[in-house]
């Protein structure tokens, strides 16, 4: 098994390993250590059945069964969620806009995603890339004065903040919007997260889901958030992955954020299609009570 960093900031490619076969203890320990060190791991050329993919992802923890959107699951394998601009019942999939803003998966819940895993099945002729930003590095490069200012602050994360953006092609109807708002009320997480395994501090703020800072007025928080949104994705902190079919890519949502770039034509005859698996994280954060705040 060989590990090769793919950028100065984040990510490593792992080759000379076949994930369709049972892993030795040494291989598993090497993968886990590389994941903690490099945050994003890329395994090119993996030929995996759905069962093998689910078995590998399950080594990291319990998997989401995506019961809230059964139409987007792979038939017979609820752990695999289909993301792409493919056709579903005669219409373009509503997952075609997934991840179009910088975000950390499910930070708008009290149980954010531990690992997100994408297995590339189809690609358009050009584009279809994902960019990642190292949130350890984003924190480390702040001034000591800024660190002291933000270390104890908390942010409000809200799914409606993402859905309301005008750039998305898919828009839920009014009835669905009301249901989404009820199912996913705003939650609070620390602005600076201390990683429970590495002990390192990371920014935990993203333009896709954060809309305010607890205890600050909108005017006070807006400027600080806009600075942090921009700072967190400074090019030197990032890596942009260009997929090949059969790439398996996964990342630690506690230490990075990512964006699925709209850098390809929405053509269902040449779709970008990913099989996504979600490893559930621990319960954290709390629900936001605006009146109490």
Residue 138 Cα to chain centre, angstroms:
16
3-state secondary structure of 28: helix
State residue 161's pLDDT score.
Answer: 84
Number of other CB atoms surrounding residue 73 within 10 Å: 16
**Per-residue pLDDT reduced to its tens digit, 33-42:** 999 999 999 9
**What is the pTM assigned to this prediction?**
0.95
State residue 165's pLDDT score.
Answer: 67
State residue 58's pLDDT score.
Answer: 98
Closest-CA residue to 256 (of 202, 211, 197): 202
State residue 174's pLDDT score.
Answer: 58
- Residue 240's DSSP bridge partners are 131
Q: Where are the domains of the chain?
A: 2-287
- Give dist(CA 4, CA 76) in Å, integer: 35
CATH architecture of 2-287: 4-Layer Sandwich (3.60)
Q: What is the DSSP letter of 23?
A: P
Mean pLDDT by 10 residues, the chain (293 residues): 98 98 97 98 98 98 95 96 91 87 96 98 96 98 98 95 66 68 93 98 96 95 97 98 98 98 91 97 91 66
């Amino acid at each position: 098994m060989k590990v090769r960093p793919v950028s100065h900031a984040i990510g490593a490619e792992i080759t000379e390993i076949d994930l369709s076969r049972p892993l030795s203890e040494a291989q598993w320990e090497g993968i886990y250590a590389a994941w903690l060190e490099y945050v994003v791991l890329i395994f090119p050329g993996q030929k995996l059945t759905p069962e093998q993919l689910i078995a590998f992802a399950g080594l990291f923890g319990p998997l989401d069964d995506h019961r809230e959107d059964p139409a987007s699951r792979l038939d017979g394998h609820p752990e695999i969620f289909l993301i792409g601009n493919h056709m579903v019942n005669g219409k373009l999939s509503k997952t075609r806009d997934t991840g179009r803003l910088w975000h950390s998966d499910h930070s708008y819940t009290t149980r954010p995603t531990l690992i997100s895993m994408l297995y590339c099945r189809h690609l358009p002729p050009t584009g279809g890339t994902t960019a990642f930003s190292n949130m350890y590095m984003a924190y480390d490069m702040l001034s000591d004065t800024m660190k002291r200012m933000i270390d104890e602050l908390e942010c409000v994360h809200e799914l409606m903040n993402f859905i309301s953006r005008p750039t998305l092609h898919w828009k839920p109807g009014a009835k669905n919007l009301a249901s989404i708002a009820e199912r996913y009320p705003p939650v609070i997480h620390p602005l600076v997260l201390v990683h429970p395994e590495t002990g390192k501090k990371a920014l935990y703020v993203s333009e896709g889901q954060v809309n305010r800072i607890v205890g600050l007025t909108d005017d006070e928080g807006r400027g600080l958030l806009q600075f942090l949104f921009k700072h967190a994705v400074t090019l030197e902190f990032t890596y942009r992955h260009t997929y090949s079919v059969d790439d398996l890519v996964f990342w630690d949502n506690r230490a990075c954020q990512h964006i699925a770039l709209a850098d390809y034509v929405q053509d269902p005859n040449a779709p970008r299609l990913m099989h996504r698996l979600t490893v559930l994280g621990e319960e954290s954060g709390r629900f936001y009570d605006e009146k109490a705040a």
